[in-house]
Amino acid sequence: MSENIITAAILVIGDEILSGRTKDKNIGYIAEYCTNIGIDVKEVRVVPDEEAEIVSALNALRSRYSYVFTTGGIGPTHDDITADCIAKAFGVTIDEDPRAMALMLERYKPEDLTPARRRMARIPAGADLILNPISKAPGFRLGNVIVMAGVPMVMQAMLDNVAPTLSTGIKMLSQTIDAHGLPEGLYGGPLGEIAAQHPGLSIGSYPSFKDGVFANQIVVRGRDQAAIDAGLAAVREMLQKLNSDKNPL
């Protein structure tokens, strides 16, 4: 793998996602954000609020990818155990962090810092804080793990704050061609041949279904624009040929 490829995994923590009560909105947002800054998301996991599950998923992912983004489990209630699990996974201590306390005192009066709220200032040793402009309680980064809130607006603000500190690689470029009514079953064979002839590209075909009709889009992805252009030209020529076979003059 080239040193210019930066990879990531997303680890979503929370029973409420697994029960279906809350529909996750963070995976798609982080995935698109990472693609746009030159980080390839290669895997996503969702795990329950259980220490053994969080620690084991975190260790599997952080050893394998350049970065791991976690969401969820850093609030003030008893089911918010992410920070403790990160400390456990890294084998470091965790305690109330004076920097985090100072941030929280921007929002809360000292007498309003209940034990529950002080839980949000527990940060593993050695972590850098990630600012939270919305509700102050910070996220943090420890090694290659970026720990963010689960509430989408708070997560998004944290991601904006941490992104400039991340290494990024050569951006994966992507261009989409509409198949204009041609079914996948007609162009699937020739498209596979084009994909085999362009090994530097990733070519995918994505159907959607609306109002009883399938619509298909062909996506050509790669890190080199000239290679993408060549792939696009081949796909367009193939579609044109199929269309003129279908509607001969």
- Burial (0-12, 13-18, 19+ Cβ within 10 Å), 15: middle
| Binding positions for a second copy, 197-216, rule CB under 8 A | 202-209, 214
**Are 122 and 94 in contact, with CB atoms under 8 Å apart?**
yes
Which C-beta is closer to a second copy: that of 101 or that of 186? 186
Among 37, 184, 232, 243, binds a second copy (CB under 8 A): 184
Rg (CA), the chain: 23
Question: How far apart are CB 102 and a second copy at their closest, in Å?
Answer: 17
How far the first Cα of the chain sits from its last, in Å, is 49
Size of site (CB under 8 A) for a second copy: 73
Buried residues in 165-185 as b, exposed as e (16+ CB within 10 A): ebeebeebeeeebebeebeee
Among 4, 51, 52, 77, binds a second copy (CB under 8 A): 77
When asked if residue 46 is in the footprint of a second copy (CB under 8 A), the reply is yes
When asked if residue 38 is in the footprint of a second copy (CB under 8 A), the reply is no
| Binding positions for a second copy, 99-138, rule CB under 8 A | 108, 112, 114-117, 119-120, 134-135
Among 5, 33, 128, 175, binds a second copy (CB under 8 A): 33
∠ CA 92-145-17, rounded to 5°: 110
When asked if residue 34 is in the footprint of a second copy (CB under 8 A), the reply is yes
